[in-house]
Amino acid sequence: MPTPDIYSRLTAVFRDVFDDDALTLTPATSAADIDEWDSLSHVQLIVAVEQEFGLRFTSREILRWQNVGEMAEAIAAKLNA
Amino acid sequence: MPPRLRNPLLLLASYAVYWLLDARCLWLLVAATAVAYALGLAIERALQSGRERLASALTTLGVTAAVALLVAFKYLDFFAAEAAALLGVLGVKATWTALHLVLPVGLSFYTFKLISYLVEIHRTHLAAERDAVAFAAYVAFFPTILAGPIDRPAAFLPQLRAPWRPCAADLAAGFRMALWGAVMKVCVADLLAPLTDSVWADGGATAAGWAFLLYPVQMYADFSGYSLMAIGAGRALGFKVAANFNRPFLARNVAEYWRRWHMSLTGWITDYVFIPLNLHWRDAGRVGQAAAVTVNLVVIGLWHGANWTYLLFGLYHAALFLPLIRSGAFARRKKFRAARWGLPSRADAGRMALTYLLVAVAFVLFRAPTVGAALGFFAHLATAAAFAPPAVAGFRLLYVGFAVAALAWEYVARDRACPLDFAAHGLLRHRAARWAVYYALLALLYTHASGPAVPAFIYTQF
């Protein structure tokens, strides 16, 4: 289970990458909810998330995420592993 | 009408249309659909039972088979002939009997639908379709089988599960789209075609400048016109078909142009080629991005066919991206806002004009039969004869006026998918006034359609 700490760190990363200090995340947040979240910024976001948590994901893992909740689950799973 | 009645009818109609278009190759469409249907279910089953490797292997098998089909029909003769020529240069005598396979109608479009279906199931974004009839109707959907738009399964399959309620609003909206599409095709593209055809027929020796400047408009009117007719036909049947164009000549750089041109193809290639490559090369920063963009545009170029000109077309576009990647402009999306009088600001207009000219250069590569012919055309562009008034039978200056007027109206109506959606603009509030415009356009179509031999759509050849 993703902890609130994961979400708060993710929120900070998202705010930085999308340059929006008012941005809030829920597990259901997806690219459809954030204007700037497109195919290009997606990769910048992944790089920033990996740096923040000191993790490395495979392309297959990343391509399956459809929203922030699935991303957070994957982070939690890797951190607990 | 419930789906269990509507879908068989739709499938029958789609196969009947395909039969009329290309009776020889209907079996291929049916076979490819059946294989993808079975593979989709098998991939899903493998994922659910935790056999990731099997799921990946099945997906790879399906994607490879679809790509192999495309390669066999589109590229085999070309690569074999080029390889034989290369071996000849090296002193090895090789001969190749060209197979001259005729490209099955819509193959480039429906194989892309099948690939995205399998990949989306493997990515767990989509449940495999159990209803074989609905799945087959999605693949063969007759309004789009000829040349797209390429509908995605996640957006289209649910529409086949919903009951069909014929509605006057859909019918009217579909009619308006198809009418505007036909106007673009018949009154813009087909009226410019004699000029560009005749200029290209003698390699651009005279009036090359006219063909250079007008071919992008012709191409746009032809393909966006076709697309709107397909989207309109789909809409009249109650389906929402993917958009293909969004006023590409308003683009202020080439990256923006590709977000507005043939969107159902560029979106597909972004999802299945660009994003995976960009992710794979993410540690390389901008170099990785440039590499992913280059592969992406080369794939788009070669998708059109096997010719060095298409390869150059892709590489040239990729080169135009490099400064944008370097400056970061690539990733920035600036919404277009009109300045005074509803016109673009002077800076925007300048960028649009430059982008148009850069794109027109690419269209020379696109149109030229060989790289040599493209170079010859460019040489002619630099001569005085290039901009002399063209004397071409069947071409009048008035037709350029038609094109400008149509593009101007599309600009005014740029926030609407259909330029004839007057109600949305608060224009022509009276029904009679709207119908007067529709009848006027129908009359224009009638008087300008070139008899029984209306030229084919350019994109049906791909």
Q: Do A39 and B270 touch (CB under 8 A)?
A: yes
**Which of the four pLDDT bands, split at 50, 70 and 90, describes residue B100?**
low
Please report which confidence band the pLDDT of residue B281 belongs to, taking 50, 70 and 90 as the band edges: very high
Interface test with B, best of A34, A43, A61 (most B CBs within 10 A): A43
Closest CA to B427 of B227, B182, B171, B415: B415
pLDDT tens, B174-220? 999 999 999 999 889 988 988 898 888 888 888 889 999 999 999 99
Q: Which CATH superfamily is domain A4-80 in?
A: ACP-like (1.10.1200.10)
Q: Summarize the confidence of residues B334-342 as an average pLDDT.
A: 82
Average pLDDT over residues B127-139: 95
Per-residue pLDDT tens digits for A38-48: 877 888 899 99
* Model ipTM value: 0.84
Nearest-angstrom CA–CA distance, B332 and B56: 35
pLDDT at position B166 is 80
For B21, the token pair is 């278009």
Write down the pLDDT at residue B98: 62
Instruction: Kindly report the length of chain A.
Output: 81
Helix then strand then coil, in percent of chain B rounded to 5, is 70, 0, 30
The answer to whether residue A42 neighbours chain B at the CB level (below 8 Å) is yes
Task: Give pLDDT, residue A59.
Answer: 87
- pLDDT mean over B105-126: 94
* Residues of chain A positioned with their CB less than 8 A from the CB of B274: 39
CA–CA separation, A57 vs A46, rounded Å?
9
A46 touches chain B (CB under 8 A): yes
B331 contacts on A by Cβ (under 8 Å): 40-41, 44
Residue B5: pLDDT over 80: yes
Question: What digits encode the pLDDT tens for the residues A45-71?
Answer: 999 999 999 999 998 889 989 899 999
Predicted pLDDT of residue B296? 93
The catalytic residue positions of B are: 304
Q: What pLDDT was estimated at residue B436?
A: 84
Calculate Rg over the CA atoms of chain B. 23
pLDDT: which is higher, B303 or B81: B303
Give residue-wise pLDDT tens across range B372-418: 999 999 999 888 788 888 877 778 888 899 899 999 989 988 888 78
Chain B closest CA to A60's CA: distance in Å? 8
Are the beta carbons of B282 and A46 separated by less than 8 Å?
yes
pLDDT score of B96 = 61
Say which range, A37-46, B26-35, B95-104, B208-217, has the weakest mean pLDDT: B95-104
Q: For B125, name the nearest residue in chain A, comparing CA atoms only.
A: A64
Are B279 and A46 within 8 A, CB to CB? yes
How far, in Å, CA of B262 to CA of B108, rounded? Answer: 14
**Contacts of A35 by beta carbon, 8 Å cutoff, 6+ apart:** B333
Q: Of A40, A42, A47, which has the smallest distance from its Cβ to B330's Cβ?
A: A40
pLDDT, tens digit, 9 for 90 and up, residues B176-187: 999 999 999 988
Q: Mutate one of B116, B278, B286, B330 to test the A interface: name it (highest A CB count within 10 A).
A: B278
Tell me, rounded to whole angstroms, the distance of Cα B206 from its chain centroid: 30
Average pLDDT, chain B: 88
Q: What proportion of chain B, given as a percentage, has pLDDT over 70?
A: 97
pLDDT for res B407: 93
B349-375 pLDDT tens trace: 999 999 999 999 999 999 999 999 999
